Structure 1
């Protein structure tokens, strides 16, 4: 069975009891009695998303013949917290540098972003609990080991988290083509959180409104947007460049 999937009622119940990190639980429609009902209750108490799907979808996803109408996606690595990410920066005597991902769905994008985040010395990544890929086995593989070094916090509300980061003294910069300045003309040297949007929709309206400012990447070709992990890499390296220049 895959490292990031659990199948069957007993394995999932035991994972819940042991406080293992679970990204989401899939339940076949109509399978909500007995032990499944207890699992739903535990998941609700822990804030774990539950999705009801057709049984055929579970049949397609399952690697065993005994999923019993239920499957869970578990994290390939433990999650951190926003507080731990900021404290980690303080302990190193660093100005905080955080990446916020607004509904990134592709595990390859998250893995690539983690790899670049490690390369530029970012202190951590923040993702939402819902409508976002978690720390799956594919993410772990794509990160090329960075999953062991880059803390990832999963939060219930990105907008509220941005408010907390501002209270901690971070500036919040969103990547969006409506930005007034190109990324290289914006001061990114201080304590900062970079917001990267969804692969198709970009940064959501509410989150854009929460940003202190928006920066744009110049596009002179025929294509109007970049892959999320590429855009994130360009912005992260600009933060690193400005910090290195400032240090002389």
Structure 2
């Protein structure tokens, strides 16, 4: 059974996969409009609601940061690389994936999933080893984005990236010694997968060798690199910016003819 806690993650689970929800438990001590709205939407979806003292929810969630609500869900179906590659895009739009090579901090993982959802990433590759699992901590940090992003668990990240290459997807790693700068790379014309390394060591050597390009984020200060969730956000939104359709120019305001004397 999978656990979720926090108002946003549980609400997103109610919206996106109500059939997987076994039941939701709320704190008897908490009374407010946000929790009432969640309970109402859950009951409308036919989800069973129970109540417990806050101390009991603390024990079930193993944290006090649950906001008075915890949900119990059946395990979701695991996706494979082929499931991500089957994504259909409208004509003219390119696929954009994210691969995480050893991100082990659940807060970094949650932040990356939240950004991936916001930036329009089509799917995420996570290795089964050397990676933080999708837990309630990750779900809460992602503000419910775990319910919307498509995640494939892979046993070997290098083989998964090679499989993507066969589908004409460019593999682009982020490395502090890479070149060129990420702003100088043209993400618009090709399908691509952005690969981010672990918090300390960065990309593993075999993963780095698999990349078609290694890009860097220029640093102006004394620190050599950014936190992985921040670096990922910077580049993901650069990809989204480059791929955004150019907005139509504002209409030209027609000048009214000026009336002269005697007109």
TM-score, normalised by the number of residues in structure 1: 0.67
The 3-state SS of whatever aligns with 1:3 is strand
Structure 1 residue 152 displacement after superposition: 0.8
Residue 85 of structure 1 pairs with residue 80 of structure 2: no
Mark the CA change 1:232 to 1:197 in structure 2 (over 3 Å): closer, same or farther: same
CA contact (8 A) 1:102 1:198 kept: yes
Query: Structure 2: 5+ residue runs without aligned partners?
Result: 5-60, 63-72, 249-263
CA contact (8 A) 1:75 1:134 kept: no
Could you tell me which residue of structure 1 aligns to residue 165 of structure 2? 166
Could you tell me which residue of structure 1 aligns to residue 225 of structure 2? 225
Could you tell me which residue of structure 2 aligns to residue 183 of structure 1? 182
TM-score, normalised by the number of residues in structure 2: 0.64
CA RMSD, 1 decimal: 2.5
CA contact (8 A) 2:2 2:74 kept: no
Could you tell me which residue of structure 1 aligns to residue 50 of structure 2? none
2 CA distance for matches of 1:234 and 1:75?
34
2 CA distance for matches of 1:245 and 1:87?
23
Q: How many residues align?
A: 181
Structure 1 residue 91 displacement after superposition: 5.3
Structure 1 residue 177 displacement after superposition: 1.3
Larger gyration radius, structure 1 or structure 2: 2
2 CA distance for matches of 1:246 and 1:165?
28
The 3-state SS of whatever aligns with 1:181 is coil
Structure 1 residue 131 displacement after superposition: 1.1
Mark the CA change 1:224 to 1:120 in structure 2 (over 3 Å): closer, same or farther: same
CA contact (8 A) 2:176 2:224 kept: no
TM alignment of 1:89-108, pairs within 5 A: 90=88, 94-108=93-107
Structure 1 residue 198 displacement after superposition: 0.3
Could you tell me which residue of structure 2 aligns to residue 209 of structure 1? 209
Structure 1 residue 145 displacement after superposition: 1.2
Structure 1 residue 3 displacement after superposition: 2.2
